[in-house]
Amino acid sequence: MPSPSPSPQTIVDTLLGVAAIFITPDWRALILLIPIGLALLFIAWFAFTVRKFATVGPNRRAPARVQPVTPANVHMPGGSSAPILVASGAGALFLGLVLGGVWLWVGVAVLVVTMLAWGREALRDYDHLESTQRLPAVIHEGPPPGVHMPGPSIRPLLGALGSAALLGGLVVGGWVLILAIVFLVYTLIGWLIDATAEYRKTVEADRTGHLENIPARRLPTRTLQVFAVLFVLIGLNQMGVFPPASPASGGTPGASAAPSGGPPIPAGALPVVAKGIAFDVKTLEVAADKPFTLYLENQDPATTPHDIEIRSTSGTKIQGQPPTSGGKATAYQGNALKAGTYTFICSIHPIAGMTGTLTVK
Ligand SMILES: [Cu+2]
């Protein structure tokens, strides 16, 4: 059966359709075309380069290239495909990140294998070097004259530790954050004192012509131990683990009585308890197209607020709520939602422990 040839009317319609894109542009569709345009541009450039390489003649107009000679005792690694291999592995990993699921693991595997291949090649290179003559290494007693080398210092390590503690404190909040700030300030002040002492020595050197290092500081073991113990105790306290709640105080989990700091539980409200920076429930269910009430009881210390935000499963915020401080409770009024699956999450601590699934049906 012969394929029907397009009628003139069809051709005109198609042309008009294409023209319409530019006359009344659908910007979203056009923006989506950008990656395709870039890909075409890349393919064109690639084809152009390949053609240039394929057709380059044996005669160069420029003078012949001089092959560089490696100086004695210097090792130049030979040509290697490893960098390209590992780049492909990284590409596979990124593709896996986009595609998700099993492809992510394929990407990881490809990257690991390519890096192992590179490592093997490097080891071979190293073994090859071992068999050749050793480099005549010259070890100096000290820095060359006129060069000042700062002495070894524990401050950079403490600064890094303090920064890490600060970031952790920003996530957890409360007293951990305050302690982290104190630790960082302690480190930075110590560093500043060292820097001042070093500056004085430099000024002195202008007079004496001899620059001396400041004496190396002793590792502040005691202070570090005190900070470590404080971090652990305060962290445990903030998680509600320490000190252990005595049964007499009525602090048993799951107690139905409302805490003194909050309104009574309204009828039909879904109770959610936040304790140790985690929700006690991972799933909630409410009726579709009807307002609902979530009763958040924050059993964490007063310095640790929580809230419940409703998000779409893709992470878009749908309904937010004001935070509830530790020891208080709030009845959150939720607006009617369409049937479906949502995420409820603490926007202050968006971690797995403070995330759950809200089913609306
Ligand atoms: Cu929270």
Residue with tokens 């699956």: 341
Tens-level pLDDT at each residue, the chain (361 residues): 445 566 788 888 888 887 776 777 677 777 888 889 999 999 999 999 999 888 876 666 666 667 777 776 676 777 788 888 899 889 889 988 888 888 889 889 999 999 999 999 888 888 776 555 555 666 666 666 666 677 778 889 999 999 999 998 888 778 888 999 999 999 999 999 998 988 888 888 888 877 777 887 788 889 999 999 999 998 888 877 767 655 444 444 444 444 455 567 888 889 999 998 899 999 999 999 999 999 999 998 888 899 999 999 888 899 999 999 988 999 999 999 999 999 999 998 888 889 999 999 8
CA distances from 315 to 5, 73, 75, 98, 101 (A): 50, 58, 53, 17, 19
> How much distance in Å is there from the Cα of 234 to the middle of ligand 1?
17
> Ligand 1 centroid vs 101 CA: distance in angstroms?
29
CA 305 to ligand 1 centroid distance, Å:
6
Surrounding residues of ion ligand 1, Cβ less than 5 A: 306, 346, 348-349, 354
Q: What torsion, rounded to 10 degrees, do the Cα atoms 299, 303, 304, 305 define?
A: 90
348 CA from centroid of ligand 1 (Å): 5
Angle between the N-to-C axes of helices 155-172 and 174-208, in degrees from 0 to 180, rounded to the nearest 10: 160
CB 229, CB 238: distance < 8 Å:
no
Q: Are 278 and 352 in contact (CB under 8 A)?
A: no
For residue 302, the CA-to-ligand 1 centroid distance in Å is 12
Fold annotation for 270-360: Immunoglobulin-like (2.60.40)
Ligand 1 geometric centre to CA of 347 (Å):
7
* Identity at 217, one-letter amino acid code: R
Centroid of ligand 1 to alpha carbon of 57 (angstroms):
69
